Structure formats: structure tokens, C-alpha cells
């Protein structure tokens, strides 16, 4: 199976794609913004020996946010 990203310029093209999907010739999937980040993580991990897990990244982000919040609170 081959995956393509298509930008629709004319709304009539969307109708054509819908017709192809109705004939079971193609499958239309909407890509979410969240999966873009996940795709990037997987792409980066392929080339890394010791890539951090999503949980480790989340903990680090929360730690940095907490530090910034405390600094901002102290400067006020």
C-alpha cells in the first residue's frame, strides 16, 4: 500500500475522492496534529541509540514548566 498526502484546491476533487472511497478503491484518513509529533518522535528514534521514551520527555517538560513557574512567581 502507498500513502500520499494530497492538498485539495478545488472542492470538486473532494467529491471525486469520496466517490473513490465509496467504491473501496481508496481509504481516506484524517491526520491529527498529535500524530505529527508522534511521527517525528519515531523518526528521530530510528537514528538514535538511546532515545528517551514519551514518558521521560513528558517528565522533563513538566519539570521545566515547574521551574519556570517558580521563577516567574518569585520575580513577581
Residue 8 burial by Cβ neighbours in a 10 Å radius (0-12, 13-18, 19+): exposed
Confidence (pLDDT) at 23? 97
Q: What is the dihedral of CA 51, 54, 58, 59, to 10 degrees?
A: -60
User: pTM score, two decimals?
Assistant: 0.41
Sequence-separated (6 or more) residues with CB below 8 Å from residue 57? 41
Residue spans of the domains in the chain: they are: 11-75
Confidence (pLDDT) at 32? 61
One digit per residue, the tens of pLDDT, for the chain of length 76 reads 888 888 899 999 999 999 999 999 999 987 666 667 777 777 877 877 787 788 888 999 999 999 999 888 888 7
Confidence (pLDDT) at 47? 77
Q: Which three cell numbers stand for residue 11?
A: 472542492
Amino acid at each position: 500500500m502507498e500513502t500520499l498526502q494530497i492538498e485539495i484546491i478545488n472542492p470538486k476533487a473532494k467529491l471525486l475522492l469520496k466517490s473513490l472511497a465509496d467504491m473501496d478503491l481508496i481509504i481516506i484518513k484524517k491526520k491529527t496534529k498529535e500524530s505529527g509529533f508522534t511521527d517525528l518522535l519515531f523518526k528521530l528514534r530510528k537514528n538514535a541509540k538511546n532515545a528517551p521514551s514519551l514518558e521521560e520527555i513528558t517528565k522533563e517538560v513538566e519539570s521545566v514548566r515547574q521551574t519556570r513557574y517558580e521563577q516567574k512567581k518569585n520575580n513577581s
